[in-house]
Structure 1
Amino acid sequence: MVRTPYDPTGVTVLVNGVPSSHLDLVDPTRLSFEYMAQMAAVLDRFSPGQPLAVIHLGAAGCALARYVHATRPASRQIAIELDTTLPELVRAWFDLPRAPALRIRAGDARGELARLPDTSADVVIRDVFAGDRTPEHVTTLEFTAEIARVLRPGGLYLANCADRPPLTHARAEAATLAAVFADVAVIAEPGQLRGRRYGNLVLAATHDPTTLRSADLDRALRSLPTPSRLLRDADVVAFIGSARPILDSATDATAGGRSEAVSPGGDTASR
């Protein structure tokens, strides 16, 4: 953990020397990572005021789980983390919600997802990394179909996708989500969408026709400390371009045997 004089209530969790999570020890609604603030803007407009059943694929410091608990304390959450030691540490370090409000399980994200019952979650959040990329076995069409199976009707899927210009991987992931879900959105800082830098994009998907079309979602994203752009409809089609969905058959050679690592600006790790 790292503390800095200019951030007296904040702490950054480093894994293998790389920032993995930032938590405000006083205010759990303060999310310093851009992509988490983007996800929170979408979550705030999903079934407002109602408790949620949330699955976090990737846990690290549980920053987003703390946010959900602070804003909707009756929610029930499960966080899945490959690193068996990290959950024990963050439980000891931070005032995390206790079970049944928040359960933390050790295991591979895809393997644990397969064990979850049908229609058991309102929201699934994927924040899983190997090095600076998302492992392919949690990006495929088959994996995304498992997400849809676990979600309740109208449920929401949020994925943290890190990529660099020309965003080839992010476009393929968006194409994969569009092959499974009726409505897909892409959220990112405008400069990143123009291919200027490596960074995180948020992919959002649902079958509900209203979740990503809240009247003030665009405004909320533009009003973040780092203003963000929301792509929907024709803009998503243009973003995807000629990209094709990612299939298990194309990733079998690279899906296993990865070592634990985290992405810069990412919250979690997986194999």
Structure 2
Amino acid sequence: MARAHREPMPGRYPVTFGEVELLRDLDRQDGWMLSKDDVPQSYVDLQDPTYLEFDYVRLMADVIDLLPDGPLSCVHVGGGACTIPRYVSATRPGSRHLVVEPDGLLVNLVREQLDLRSVPKLKVIVKGGREGTAGLWDDCADLFVLDAFSGATMPVELATEQYMGDVARVLRPGGTLLVNIADGKGLAFARRVTATVRGAFRHVALLAEPGIMRGRRFGNLILAASREELPVDLLTRRAAGGLTQARCVHGDDLTRFLAGAAPIRDGDAVLSPVPPPAVFG
């Protein structure tokens, strides 16, 4: 008989790169938040992996739900509590997941406290994003999810032309890339990351809440990219009609959004934006 998973213990835990806090959701019996430096990193419901607390994760799920039916072969750079692998395993049984996460102690914490062993066909390798991606086979993934943050900032080395070229190598011709970006006023970083992704993938769409898309407040934007056409009409309707009520920008509108922004190359002096203190206050 399988051993029942023990109840998670809320509290602060040391990890390889600092300390994280595990918090129980008082509104959902099986909901748990993982935060680092008081910045929410992941949310999981241990009994209902289809419940997605964060708006930007729902946007990722909108894209995934519109991919062709059937199980997916997935690569996830940035592990956290593995919210998206749990979601895909629940909605697309038989999917396989390779998670690349540099913090080994965090992986152990999630495995022990948040029942990571219950996610089928999931493997974690403890490496940095570039090193982990470089070791993957060509044309091995249907879905590549880049959701890697150090605190509240995206590592710039995972937003360069060179790295996006490696991601394109790993994805199958019809595969889809999802990138989580955080940015604020002016969206200068988001524009450059979008230009970089557009250099590696012919079809790109950007999704975010209207206030974030206009650069009025700091928040998360999701890039979806593929060498083949994306279902942008369906995605536009789904994003606008969901709880998030997001915009989907693509085609000529995306070209105007870029406003001539240059792609990011290895060695460029680019700083990933830091959120104002009030964002998570």
* TM-score scaled by length of structure 2: 0.85
In structure 2, what is the equivalent of residue 217 of structure 1?
235
- Alpha-carbon contact 2:39-2:152 (below 8 Å) kept: no
Q: 1:155 aligns with which of 165, 175, 191?
A: 175
In structure 1, what is the equivalent of residue 19 of structure 2?
none
The 2-side partners of 1:115 and 1:149 are apart by 11
- Alpha-carbon contact 1:185-1:212 (below 8 Å) kept: no
**Are 2:215 and 1:195 equivalent residues in the alignment?**
yes
Deviation at 1:212, TM superposition (A): 3.3
The 2-side partners of 1:61 and 1:193 are apart by 27
Identify if the C-alpha distance between structure 1 residues 241 and 75 changes in structure 2 by more than 3 Å, giving closer, same or farther. Answer: same
Deviation at 1:195, TM superposition (A): 1.4
Runs of at least 5 residues in structure 2 that lack an aligned partner in the other structure: 1-21, 273-278
RMSD, aligned α-carbons: 1.9
How far does the alpha carbon of each residue in 1:122-181 deviate from its partner, in whole angstroms, 9 at most, with x for none?
Answer: 111001112432111100001000000000111100000001110000000111111111
Q: 1:164 aligns with which of 174, 178, 184?
A: 184
In structure 2, what is the equivalent of residue 51 of structure 1?
71
- Alpha-carbon contact 1:69-1:97 (below 8 Å) kept: no
Moved over 6 A (4+): none
Q: Please give the secondary structure, in 2, of the residue aligned with 1:248.
A: coil
Identify if the C-alpha distance between structure 1 residues 177 and 138 changes in structure 2 by more than 3 Å, giving closer, same or farther. Answer: same
Aligned residue runs from structure 1 range 28-107, under 5 A: 28-48=49-69, 50-96=70-116, 101-107=121-127
How far does the alpha carbon of each residue in 1:202-254 deviate from its partner, in whole angstroms, 9 at most, with x for none?
Answer: 01110112x333x4322211122221110010111011112011011315x98
Letter in 2 for 1:218: T
The 2-side partners of 1:161 and 1:186 are apart by 10
In structure 2, what is the equivalent of residue 229 of structure 1?
247
Q: Which has the larger radius of gyration?
A: 2
> How many residues get paired?
253
How far does the alpha carbon of each residue in 1:16-39 deviate from its partner, in whole angstroms, 9 at most, with x for none?
Answer: 332111111221001111111000
The answer to which structure, 1 or 2, has the higher relative contact order (CA under 8 A, 6+ apart) is 1
Letter in 2 for 1:160: N
The 2-side partners of 1:108 and 1:8 are apart by 34
- Alpha-carbon contact 2:185-2:217 (below 8 Å) kept: yes
Q: Please give the secondary structure, in 1, of the residue aligned with 2:59.
A: helix
The 2-side partners of 1:66 and 1:157 are apart by 18
